[in-house]
Amino acid sequence: MKLLAIDTSTSSCSVAVLDGDRLLSETVFTAGKTHSVHLMSMISQVLDRCGCRPLDVDVIGVTRGPGTFTGLRIGIGTVKGLGMATRATVIGVSSLKALAFPFAKDRRPVVAMIDARRKEVYWALFQTGKNGLKITSPVTLSAPEDVASALPKDALLVGSGALVYRSLFDTRCPSVRLADSEQHVIRGASVGRLALEGLARHEAVSIDSLVPEYIRKSDAQIQTTGTC
């Protein structure tokens, strides 16, 4: 079973191809340019490297949020188009869980954070359980100071939110640790393996049902309702 995994939820972008749970090809782009410029070429490259065509893809996994509004729309819009063209099964994956996934065997609590701009972060707390990584707090949009007050003392922090507010966490939470520098981006391989887990739990959705999970209201919604 060939699985194509895509992440465009933050300033980085990653695409991977898996055969079952075996990674065949992966690429990560961190230059921060608009994902619409390079996403299709990245997909073409990873498929070409493992001798696959789009029609060979059985499942497509994509990060559904939280993350940047534009990035999520690009990724999910691309997957909707590919899903219609290939009739592949589609599965949405939490961006924060994909960030935390490489630490699934770590005994410490893992706090995944994505910079939400406006001096806020999207974040969630994860812990390793019998069936893998489990979320133990709801996905929340908070000021970093509020996150610092809620952190377990031995937590491992990962993601762009942790990097942006590193000095705050170092000062207020000296016992926590940041992940290594190369681990703060979402990898397509992690998205793919989480999509496989979702497939086993029958979490596949119709193309129409695949929608972003923004958490924060868009600027247009805020202007319409007059609330944040």
Amino acid 18: pLDDT: 98
pLDDT recorded at residue 107: 86
pLDDT tens figures, 150-178: 999 899 999 999 999 999 999 999 999 99
Positions of the chain with pLDDT under 50: 219-228
pLDDT in tens, 31-58: 777 898 999 999 999 999 999 999 999 9
| Superfamily classification of domain 97-183 | ATPase, nucleotide binding domain (3.30.420.40)
Q: What is the pLDDT of residue 218?
A: 52
Chain-centroid distance, C-alpha 141: 15
Q: Which long-range contacts (CB under 8 A, 24 or more apart) does 152-155 make?
A: 152/109, 152/111, 152/125, 152/176, 154/108, 154/109, 155/108, 155/109, 155/110, 155/111, 155/125
Long-range contacts of 81-85 (CB under 8 A, 24+ apart): 82/4, 82/43, 82/54, 82/57, 83/207, 83/210, 84/207, 85/54
What is the CATH number that goes with domain 2-95+186-225? Answer: 3.30.420.40
Instruction: Specify the pairing of strand 121-129 against strand 132-135.
Output: antiparallel
| Helix, strand, coil share of the chain (percent; to 5) | 40, 25, 35
| CATH 3.30.420.40 domain residues, the chain | 2-95+186-225, 97-183
